[in-house]
Structure 1
Amino acid sequence: MNVVSLLQPIKKFLHCETPQSWIDEAIKPENLAVLLTDHLICELKAAQSAMFMIRRYAVDADSAKALLEWLSPYEKFTYRREGDWRSLKDHQRLSKSMMVKSGSAYGQDLVDKMVLLIKEELHHFYQVLEIMQNYGIEYENISSSRYAKGLLSHVRTHEPAALIDKLICGALIEARSCERFALLAPHLDDTLSTFYVSLLRSESRHFEDYLSLAKNIAKEDISERIAYFAQIESSLILTADSDFKFHSGTPSTAENQHRAVV
Structure 2
Amino acid sequence: MTAYTDTATDASLPAELLDFLPCPTPNRWVEAAMKNPALLMIDHAQCEKKAASTAMSLMFRYVDRPELLNKMSQLAREELLHFEQVINLMEERGIDYSHLQASRYAEGLRQHVSKQEPQRLIDTLIVGAFIEARSCERFARLIPHLDETLAKFYRSLVRSEGRHFEDYLSLAERYADRDGVKARIAEFGEFERELIESDDATFRFHSGVPAES
Give TM-score scaled by structure 1 length: 0.76
Q: 1:20 to 1:220 in 2, by over 3 A?
A: closer
1:238 maps to: 197
1:52 maps to: 57
Where 1:4 maps in the other structure, the secondary structure is coil
Where does structure 1 lack aligned partners over 5 or more consecutive residues? Answer: 59-103, 255-262
Alignment of 1:191-210 (within 5 A): 191-210=149-168
Letter in 2 for 1:139: Y
Q: Whole-Å Cα distance in 2 between the matches of residues 50 and 245 of structure 1? A: 21
2:30 maps to: 23
2:16 maps to: 9
* Aligned pairs, number: 204
- What is the percentage of aligned positions where both structures have the same residue? 52
Answering whether residue 212 of structure 2 is matched by residue 253 of structure 1, we say yes
Give TM-score scaled by structure 2 length: 0.93
**C-alpha displacement of 1:11:** 1.3
**C-alpha displacement of 1:16:** 0.3
Q: Whole-Å Cα distance in 2 between the matches of residues 37 and 220 of structure 1? A: 37
1:36 maps to: 41
Answering whether residue 81 of structure 2 is matched by residue 123 of structure 1, we say yes
Does structure 1 conserve the Cα–Cα contact (< 8 Å) formed by 2:21 and 2:130?
yes
Q: What is the RMSD of the two structures over their aligned residues, measured on CA atoms?
A: 1.3
Does structure 2 conserve the Cα–Cα contact (< 8 Å) formed by 1:7 and 1:179?
no
Does structure 2 conserve the Cα–Cα contact (< 8 Å) formed by 1:237 and 1:249?
yes
**C-alpha displacement of 1:173:** 0.2
Answering whether residue 113 of structure 2 is matched by residue 155 of structure 1, we say yes
Does structure 1 conserve the Cα–Cα contact (< 8 Å) formed by 2:125 and 2:168?
yes
Q: Whole-Å Cα distance in 2 between the matches of residues 253 and 37 of structure 1? A: 23
Where does structure 2 lack aligned partners over 5 or more consecutive residues? Answer: 1-9
Alignment of 1:157-236 (within 5 A): 157-221=115-179, 222-236=181-195
Does structure 2 conserve the Cα–Cα contact (< 8 Å) formed by 1:35 and 1:246?
yes
Does structure 2 conserve the Cα–Cα contact (< 8 Å) formed by 1:174 and 1:204?
yes
2:3 maps to: none
Answering whether residue 71 of structure 2 is matched by residue 113 of structure 1, we say yes
Q: Whole-Å Cα distance in 1 between the matches of residues 186 and 158 of structure 2? A: 23
